[in-house]
Amino acid sequence: MPREAYHRDLTAIQERVLALSARARRAVEESVLSFRAADLVWSHRIDVEDEQINEERLAIEERCIAIIAAQQPVAVDLRRLASTLFITSEIERIADHAVGIARINLMMAPETPPRPLSYLPSMADRALAMFDDAMRAFDTDDVSLARQVCQSDDDLDRLQDRVYTDVIEAMRADANVVERNTYLLWAAHNLERIGDRCTNICERVVYTVTGEMKDTDPSTF
């Protein structure tokens, strides 16, 4: 494979990863909106469309492996392709968390809006902002931005703590809301895991650029 074609392939893979992330982001956003509106048809569609995201993830991985086998890249190119394999998997898992929220909505079918959501909408906004920044860091090799995303995960964790506090207090006050509020805890967990996966993506961005793999503890940056 001529060098020019090789670099075109690398660019094409990056574009496919960014397109995949856009689909995963939309799934997250729509899962929260459908949850808030108790829209079961919307949630079901998110679940069904997830299969297309899974298929695209596998196609990207197969292309990365083919390039590695054909070109035997070294240094930053090898790190980039290896990181792309990992990041693509994390994006697919973010979409899975969107499906998790959609399925929770389906389980809550008998309950109609408005729902007391505590800090769930704020968690969703924070998680989506982290995802946006993580993918921008990936697209531009921005190590500084990647590290900022890792540090901002604490904000999402604090919002989750607030959801837990509100939900547990409500459950103690009224046994009739235990089942519903348990579902809210599950939804909060999915959003918190999206933040964790964004930090994982950013760790790989740092690794791609610097060659160093560090955990997401801000003190290590």
- Convert the pLDDT of each residue in 65-80 to its tens digit: 999 999 888 899 999 9
- Distance from the Cα of residue 54 to its chain's centroid: 14
Q: How far apart, in whole angstroms, are the C-alpha atoms of residue 78 and residue 163? A: 42
The pTM assigned to this predicted structure is: 0.93
Predicted local confidence at residue 71, as pLDDT = 87
The residue segments making up the domain with residue 136 are 3-220
- Convert the pLDDT of each residue in 179-209 to its tens digit: 889 999 999 999 999 999 999 999 999 999 9
Q: How far apart, in whole angstroms, are the C-alpha atoms of residue 177 and residue 171? A: 6
Count how many Cα atoms sit within 13 Å of the Cα of residue 75 in the half-sphere of its side chain.
0
Predicted local confidence at residue 72, as pLDDT = 87
- Convert the pLDDT of each residue in 96-109 to its tens digit: 999 999 999 999 98
For the record, the structure tokens of 175 come out as 């046994």
Q: What is the mean pLDDT of the chain?
A: 92
CATH for 10: 1.20.58.220
Q: What is the pLDDT along the chain (221 residues), one digit of tens a residue?
A: 567 888 899 999 999 999 999 999 999 999 999 999 999 999 999 999 999 999 999 999 999 999 999 988 889 999 999 999 999 999 999 999 999 999 999 999 877 666 788 999 999 999 999 999 999 999 999 999 999 999 999 999 999 999 999 999 999 999 988 988 999 999 999 999 999 999 999 999 999 999 988 765 544 44
**DSSP state string for 32-48:** HHHHHHT-HHHHHHHHH
The structural domain count of the chain equals: 1
Q: Residue holding tokens 């995201």?
A: 53
